[in-house]
Amino acid sequence: MPAAQELFDCRKAWATTLESLAEEDTRIVAVVNDSVGSSNLGGFQARFPDRIVNVGIAEQVMVGVGAGLANGGRVPFVSAASCFLTGRALEQIKADVAYSNYNVKLVGQSSGVAYGELGATHHSIEDLTWLRAMPQITTIVPADPWETEEAVRWAAAHDGPVYLRLSRMKVPDLGPDADGARRFTPGRARTMRHGDEATILASGTTVHLALNAADELAAEGIDVRVLSFHTLNPIDVDAVLAAAEETKAIITVEEGLKSGGLGGAVAELVTANTPVPLERIGFDGFQTTGDAETLFAKAGLSADGIKSATHRVLGRKSKDR
């Protein structure tokens, strides 16, 4: 594990990418709920003052206006703290965006437990469970600045609803895929590390933790596969089933509820197709107040926690043999 990895706030990649896309594509507009600062859209507002609609503290109309802008030929990026965007406006997301199939890009900021100290009202750990119930919305959880930029570019070009789940927690640049190239294809997990004894499927802010755990496991002589599982909808069925069939042990890691999110999705697929031992790391319900690092550690969202889960799943795998 490198001594001092440079860390990045992915909101910078989101904002600079959106600005450069907006320069080329005049259809792009931003819609916010008094969240210019928290969405890091000050630069966008300065460059395109007429193309940002700030509805105020009003998430229902924010999402409805997004659908209306799409009706009028615009490509709206509706950006707000995930907890309010998905929680307050869930029915608008269902009816106005998913069911109406409007070309709206929902951008959840400060997701997961980024607002750890502010308490469970401001945590957004339920959002992926809710959004997974709407497969019409492509749901992407980028893990680093490069995945963030790729996801924003793809969302702008894609004709259909998208949920981008971003964080303000700083993360390292993950570098290339295991085979040396960088490939971002929505719906296809990235293989960040080869391995055949178990597979860690991680998303967003947890992928770098999974890679650190894999390094430490390698030092113990255990080779695990690591996937950056950036797309929750549509899920990469092939990658999940290949992990089950080829490595016969799976660990899922996510900054969200284990039930219904990535862990839930993988459990559904694996039990129905190739039952293998599975450990899910994530949150179980409302979290206490605490900084994000503390909440991560408590849930086992750490290199140590992932290593322990890997040892547990390997123990079950050997018993099964």
Q: Is 282 in the site for another protein (CB under 8 A)?
A: no
- Shortest distance, position 269 Cβ to another protein, whole Å: 28
Q: Does 51 bind another protein (CB under 8 A)?
A: yes
- In the bound state with another protein, the residue whose beta carbon lies nearer, of 79 and 199, is 79
Which lies closer to another protein via its Cβ, residue 24 or residue 50?
Answer: 50
Near another protein by CB under 8 A, which window of 98-106, 118-126, 138-146, 238-246? 98-106
Residue closer to another protein, measured from CB, 38 or 101: 101
The stretch near another protein (CB under 8 A) out of 68-76, 157-165, 168-176, 228-236 is 68-76
Interacting positions 166-205 with another protein (CB under 8 A): none
296, 297, 298, 301: CA torsion to nearest 10: 60
Distance in Å, CB of 90 to another protein, minimum: 11
Contact call for residue 101 and another protein (CB under 8 A)? yes
Q: Shortest Cβ distance from residue 63 to another protein (Å)? A: 8
Q: Is residue 64 at the binding interface for another protein, with CB under 8 A as the rule?
A: yes
Q: What's the token pair of residue 165?
A: 């789940």
Rounded to whole angstroms, the Cα distance separating 161 from 143 reads: 20
DSSP string covering 204-271, please? GGGHHHHHHHHHHHHHTT--EEEEE--EEES--HHHHHHHHHHHS-EEEEEEEESSSSHHHHHHHHHH
Question: Residue 67 CB, nearest distance to another protein (Å)?
Answer: 5
For another protein, the closer of residues 74 and 190 by Cβ is 74
Closest CA to 243 of 270, 283, 265, 263: 270
215-to-12, 107, 173, 221, 271 alpha-carbon distances in Å: 28, 32, 16, 10, 28
Q: State both tokens at 175.
A: 């570098």
Considering only 16-24, 91-99, 109-117, 217-225, which stretch makes contact with another protein by CB under 8 A? Answer: 91-99
Q: Could you give the CA distance from residue 151 to residue 13 in angstroms, rounded to a whole number?
A: 10
Q: Are 229 and 199 in contact (CB under 8 A)?
A: no
Q: Which is nearer to another protein, 87 or 290 (CB)?
A: 87
- Give yes or no for a contact between 17 and 149, defined as CB atoms under 8 angstroms apart: yes
Binding residues for another protein, rule: CB under 8 A, are: 29, 50-51, 53, 55-56, 58, 60-61, 63-74, 76, 91-92, 95-96, 99-101
